[in-house]
Structure 1
């Protein structure tokens, strides 16, 4: 696996983090890095994301990461809420990011990102899922369905408590739900979505109407100041290779 220099925060996400991983599941990694500030001053924008596969890993530059998280992106946001043992790199600036994670939250964007997306995807499952498709398609549908139920569950907890719990309390519930939907029980999916929509409507949310962009920008400016004297392009390097001049601490 390859990662950029100046990684501020990185960890294991996805099914492994949720407790839904099976024998054949991939181990997904997510992180963010700081581009040398001087490279932001030229004609060409520096690399915004570094992506690799087998194993799957995605690293976003700090500014892009902040923009995605401010938009409520669940996949990106969960990096700030991982259980401690799942972090693989934690630079002091990464710890600062975790400390301000609540600044990224807002009620409407959380509802749209979790419930809104899940509802849209469930309608697609409802339109095509009658249990008559191939075994391979049923397997993919089951995985899709259980992750959509996860989004509803995690999103509602975040919306009502302000806390995003990554590790699922009862993973088997999500597996059973996925299998049932993949077998063609679209009515169960429809009823589940209706219950979650009603739960969101019961509100009010503990989250603010808008994220605290000033707090997020202050963190990003500290990142830019910390890497102001760094020069040269972002160069990918293997994990375990020679560390950058301002390495994160490895957990």
Structure 2
């Protein structure tokens, strides 16, 4: 399937919906957010002067972040929370390559790496909340707590909930997003879930399999050489 937002030589293998519509927290004025994974023809990678662009940000009626498959797999192995979320979020479009990519999810993350990456992301969200970035501190406060809870789920059961509204913290996150919690209260919640994540990390033995990611990428590159 060709991604209409990219040059015609790019192939979109996976597109998912994320953000408030996926989390069950959308309001009447909520925009839709998407993430996608695309593949460049293998021959393009070997052209003289080729400049690899691993991430693309597209803003039209809706926001979409797209990653080229090689960069996507690298970020997944680094435990990037937005990338890992793409592997479990509700699908908009997906071909056979996208299906195989999603099936790799259990082999793409390691406990310690994911823990470090999720915490780094959450600390950044907390900073944005305190700085009242974009005049939307509640948005970052909600993300801070939501992603910490997702980390706890990941370390406990090997995956995490996208529809946060249906989890034990759903109502709290909804109220945080609507501005009903003070920053100090949000930080207290964050500290609680951070401690819980550290506790669960001690018993989580999950290790990534980069060799399987390499094998998938090699097979895909060969297929897209034709």
TM-score, normalised to structure 2, is 0.85
The answer to whether the Cα contact below 8 Å between 1:160 and 1:207 also exists between their aligned partners in 2 is no
* SS of residue matched to 2:180: helix
Structure with the bigger RCO (C-alpha within 8 Å, sep 6+) is: 1
Q: Secondary structure at the match of 1:180?
A: coil
Task: Report the alpha carbon displacement of residue 88 of structure 1 after superposing the two structures with TM.
Answer: 2.0
Q: Matches of 1:191 and 1:33 in 2, distance apart?
A: 39
Gaps of 5+ in 2: none
Residue 193 of structure 1: CA displacement?
2.1
| Counterpart-to-counterpart distance in 1, 2:106 and 2:126 | 28
Q: Tell me the equivalent position of 1:240.
A: none
Call closer, same or farther: CA 1:52–1:192 in 2, change over 3 Å. Answer: same
Question: Do structure 1's residue 219 and structure 2's residue 212 form an aligned pair?
Answer: no
Distance 1:190 1:13, change over 3 A: closer
Q: Which residue of 2 aligns with 1:35?
A: 40
* Paired residues for 1:178-217 under 5 Å: 178=177, 179-181=179-181, 185-203=182-200, 204-208=202-206, 210-217=207-214
User: In the alignment, does 2:206 pair up with 1:228?
Assistant: no
Cα distance in 2 between the residues matched to 1:202 and 1:48: 35
Does the alignment pair 1:63 with 2:63?
A: no
Q: Pairwise CA RMSD of aligned residues? A: 2.2
Q: Pick from 133, 149, 159: which aligns with 1:153?
A: 149
Larger Rg: 1
Alignment of 1:76-115 (within 5 A): 76-82=83-89, 86-115=90-119
Shift of 1:143: 1.2
- The Cα shift of 1:197 comes to 2.2
* TM-score, scaled to structure 1: 0.77
